Structure 1
């Protein structure tokens, strides 16, 4: 896989990995509860690996990602071995940091830089998916401290709630607002409307970036 991923297709692999994570998180809900967490965590590790390989062209972030991925694996093993549920909070923070670092690295590579190609367009999709995943993690962290922050959600482990919260996050990011899941605590409400604002703002940034890069290409 390392040789197959290059600067011309790296964002394709990353986007497919993120989509696979979202699809798997929904499918594992029909699996026995004992297997669910292992399957989801395995897919998360695979997603981390693809992201690291895709970002190896950015040495500044590659080492940071490798360190975070290793910390996440160690924290997950400790949680399974010791049965300490409080480690869930640390696991979620590491996941958020990893997605944030990946978002920053991709942004530096595709927004307002170079000419537009299909890989960059797909990279902009990866950025959108990462935004939704970061807010998903933020909502799960909130639920670790205040399980009653959202209506329509049950008090379960973050792995069990991941798919539902990802659904809510992307519904909010695209400002669809179906209303089947709603924030009821003041802090969760702030997070929700901030995500909606970020979703609208992101669309404007991406369009401006693509237009600017295309004009630069034509003038060149």
Structure 2
């Protein structure tokens, strides 16, 4: 068995994202208030994998650390139903996932050769794009107060799994068109 190195980071991220998306669906099906746990899981998975991506770049880790702290603080406030901070929480999540997505895309596109890690990395980028798009849709729903047909305006954590579903459906339709 080959030794695990920092070049295998996308495999762990892929497993974490798949478990996270499956956990989101399971929480929505069986528990009413489980989306907060899923959100914390998302932040933990992405933050933990960020530390292993490039150990030489302390500036990047510092930036991701700052975003992680910002997202955690605003997410905890949002989980506690602080309606005034919902927009701030969503903006922080969009920035966090967007920066992570940008960094992961650079790693995949600037790799010296194509290997298993880059292929899995491109799948992770697709999954993260779906999550990013879901949070953008949640922000629009929060700001526009009912801007989507078929989705009621309410606490954004209650609409999280529906928006994740709709974001992946929308992305698939764009690819098929």
User: When the two structures are superposed, what TM-score results if normalisation uses the length of structure 2?
Assistant: 0.86
Partner of 2:167: 169
Aligned partner of 2:138 among 118, 137, 140: 140
Provide the rounded CA distance (Å) in 2 between the counterparts of 1:44 and 1:144: 20
Conserved in 2, the CA contact under 8 Å of 1:55 and 1:105? no
1:20-77 deviations in Å (ceiling 9; x for gaps): 22112211113443x4244223312322333323424462432211111111112233
Partner of 2:7: 8
1:148-180 deviations in Å (ceiling 9; x for gaps): 2111212221111111111111111111xxxxx
Conserved in 2, the CA contact under 8 Å of 1:11 and 1:54? no
Unaligned runs of at least 5 residues, structure 2: none
- Deviation above 6 Å: which 4+ runs of structure 1? none
> Whose relative contact order is higher, 1 or 2, with alpha carbons under 8 Å and at least 6 apart?
2
Partner of 1:209: none
Equivalent residue runs for 1:74-85 within 5 Å: 74-80=73-79, 83-85=81-83
Provide the rounded CA distance (Å) in 1 between the counterparts of 2:10 and 2:55: 12
User: When the two structures are superposed, what TM-score results if normalisation uses the length of structure 1?
Assistant: 0.70
Counting matched residue pairs gives 173
Partner of 2:28: 29
Are the structure 2 counterparts of residues 92 and 5 from structure 1 closer, same or farther at C-alpha, using a change threshold of 3 Å? farther
Equivalent residue runs for 1:70-219 within 5 Å: 70-80=69-79, 83-175=81-173, 196=174, 199=175
Shift of 1:112: 4.6
